[in-house]
């Protein structure tokens, strides 16, 4: 595996690989890799000639009071894990490399961002779309891999690829979970021991909602209330949101129909956890 640190070298390599007829699978991350990221790498490895992993903690998607400075970083560990999953290239640019000066063009995401996490993080998905646009041009992937845990991000990326006509197949990979159901996340390390014991209740609440729907329940508010009851009963966390929307459009539903997402966000003392399931009826 080769580490690449400049945009010029990454783009020149990608053009060369494309001319050779190689398919490129791309896994963009902010590092501190966990099993969820490794699942993306495994699928990319199985479906492409070349696998590129990027590690870049993108400052433009963090708000002024968010955890950019404290976001966990461990490049040496990430490098070992990427090698173990047979990644071919690790793109590891600096902030100055990705944002060398004052921008003359900006990207604004105008749909799918005013709900869920986006509702309280104005500008977050503008930053996501901006950095992904840069990365897509540099890596020039045939396929890009994202985890369904960040389902709103997947929906936004779907819109970005569709609207800007990127010749990229978006591959959404199922959420990887701990044995007790907790979704893998780089932020799980910030949970207190007592909170970690409570955290599986998040997924349990979603599973209860799924059972309700499979038994015939179609009332959106009824399903949301059942989720809230489970979380309040079994955790000390504060509910940020419990929401149900059409997917990937992320529009409100009067009753459950078609494909939709059930999403939750819970604030613990030092970690905010999200989870979701996507269903279709």
33 labelled binding-site residue: yes
Rounded CA gap, 156 and 158, in Å? Answer: 5
What token pair was written down for 251? 């529009």
150 labelled binding-site residue: yes
159 labelled binding-site residue: no
Query: Among 19, 37, 124, 158, which one carries the catalytic annotation?
Result: 37
Rounded CA gap, 281 and 275, in Å? Answer: 20
32 labelled binding-site residue: yes
61 labelled binding-site residue: yes
Rounded CA gap, 57 and 55, in Å? Answer: 7
258 labelled binding-site residue: no
Q: What is 60-94 written as a DSSP string? A: GGS-TTSSTTTS---HHHHHHHHHHTT-SEEE---
H-type alpha helices, 48-190:
75-84, 95-98, 124-139, 151-163
184 labelled binding-site residue: yes
Largest CA distance in the chain: 58
What token pair was written down for 190? 């910030």
Per the annotation, the verdict on 137 as an active-site residue is no
157 labelled binding-site residue: no
149 labelled binding-site residue: yes
Where is the binding site for (R)-pantoate, in residues? 61, 153
Where is the binding site for ATP, in residues? 30-37, 147-150, 176, 184-187
Question: Annotated active-site positions, please?
Answer: 37
Where is the binding site for beta-alanine, in residues? 61
Where is the binding site, in residues? 30-37, 61, 147-150, 153, 176, 184-187
């Amino acid at each position: 595996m080769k580490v690449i640190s400049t945009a010029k070298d990454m783009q020149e390599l990608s053009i060369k690989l494309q001319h050779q007829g190689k398919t490129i699978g791309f896994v963009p991350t902010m590092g501190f890799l966990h099993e969820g990221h490794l699942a993306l790498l495994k699928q990319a490895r199985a479906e492409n000639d070349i696998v590129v992993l990027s590690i870049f903690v993108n400052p433009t998607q963090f708000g002024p009071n968010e955890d950019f400075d404290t976001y966990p970083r461990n490049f040496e560990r990430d490098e070992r894990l990427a090698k173990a999953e047979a990644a071919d290239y690790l793109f590891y640019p600096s902030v100055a490399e990705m944002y060398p000066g004052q921008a003359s063009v900006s990207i604004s995401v105008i749909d799918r961002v005013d709900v869920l996490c986006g509702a309280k993080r104005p500008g977050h998905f503008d930053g996501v779309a901006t950095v992904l646009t840069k990365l897509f041009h540099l890596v020039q992937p045939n396929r890009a891999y994202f985890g369904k845990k960040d389902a709103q991000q997947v929906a936004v990326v779907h819109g970005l690829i569709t609207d800007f006509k990127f010749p990229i197949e978006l591959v959404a990979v199922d959420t990887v979970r701990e044995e007790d159901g907790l979704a893998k996340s780089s932020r799980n390390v910030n949970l207190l021991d007592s909170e970690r014991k409570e955290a599986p209740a998040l997924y349990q609440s979603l599973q209860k909602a799924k059972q309700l729907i499979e038994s015939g329940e179609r009332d959106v508010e009824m399903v949301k209330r059942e989720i809230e009851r489970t979380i309040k009963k079994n955790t000390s966390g504060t509910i940020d949101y419990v929401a149900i929307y059409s997917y990937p459009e992320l529009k409100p539903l009067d009753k459950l129909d078609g494909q939709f997402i059930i999403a939750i966000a819970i604030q613990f003392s030092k970690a905010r956890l999200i989870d979701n399931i996507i269903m279709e009826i």
